[in-house]
Amino acid sequence: MELVFLGTGAGVPSKERNVSAIALTLLQEENSIWLFDCGEATQQQILQTSIKPRKITKIFITHMHGDHIFGLPGLLSSRSFQGGKDLLTVYGPPGIKRYIETSLMVSETHLTYPLEIVELKEGMLFDEGPFQVMCQKLEHVIPSYGFRIVEKDKPGELLVDKLREKGILPGPIYQQIKENDVVTTLDGQAIYQHEFLGPAKPGRIVSILGDTRNTEKHVELVKQSDVLVHEATFEDAKKEMAKNYYHSTTTEAASLAKKARVNKLVLTHISSRYQEEDSAHLLEEARAIFPNTMIAHDFDQVTIPVKKA
């Protein structure tokens, strides 16, 4: 599980930062990639990485501002020419369906794969396979959402020595025990799975928030995340401006991370008023409150390691 930051700027592209797009690679977990937002030129950014558009199976749009959606029609179209055959599902706020369908219609774009469009409602978005995804409305000028991606706990290791003591030798039955609550052996023994598995391996949690003003209501959404991705459009000195424009500062994002007891904070959506030489100052502000903070730059990669049991 890895985050790849394809665009980390706010509002307009700059020489140093493209506009918003983040890929969550789940190649080992389910052989797919999820994309969060798709600003202008996201396709061009993808070309600088190893990401294959045909592997993108879900796209989550946080809100309908242009710096988060203007790259979407082009990416959907190009996926048809890049081997995309599998279902692609786009999740986004009300209006996303009309935006996509109108863009494809007026450009006479015909996709070679099935496309599903789901307009967001707060709560559990889906629970399928190894993941649950929840969403919550944030506080922005237009409806904006944050996502909590939860990997389900994995079964513990099979206690082979204990099975041998019971007279159960290696073979197909070991796989059966892993997959079933109770297995009956050929001689009639009932083998209860929970007695022969080690502690479960806790799943990972990633929270990715769209544009938002600072508010306490986000704590529950992001609590105990392994990684929290949060916008930091402004420095602390611009706190009043951030409030007026429904955005957050470095210190507000760090305060949320601290209150929610997350493990790592990644700041993104940096205003183009800040140049590369300003990064140290922005990072210092956040780290004074929450030390395990980084500022994302385009093409940065953040690996979320598997937790130990």
Residue pair 19/35 in contact (Cβ under 8 Å)? The answer is: no
| Structure tokens that stand for 161 in this block | 């020595």
List b or e across 106-144, with b for residues whose CB sees 16 or more CB atoms inside 10 angstroms. eeeeeeeeebebeebeeeebeeeeebbbbbbbbbbeebb
Active site residue 153: no
Q: How many C-beta neighbours within 10 Å does residue 13 have?
A: 15
Q: Compute the distance between CA of residue 132 and CA of residue 3 in angstroms, rounded to an integer.
A: 17
Residue pair 286/293 in contact (Cβ under 8 Å)? The answer is: yes
Rg (CA), the chain: 22
Residue pair 151/205 in contact (Cβ under 8 Å)? The answer is: yes
Q: Say which of 37, 67, 211, 236 is annotated catalytic.
A: 67
Q: Quick one: DSSP state of residue 88?
A: E
Q: How many C-beta neighbours within 10 Å does residue 25 have?
A: 20
Q: What angle separates helix 279-287 from helix 250-259, to the nearest 10 degrees?
A: 30
- Helix or strand or coil: residue 124? strand
Query: Which of the residues are catalytic?
Result: 67
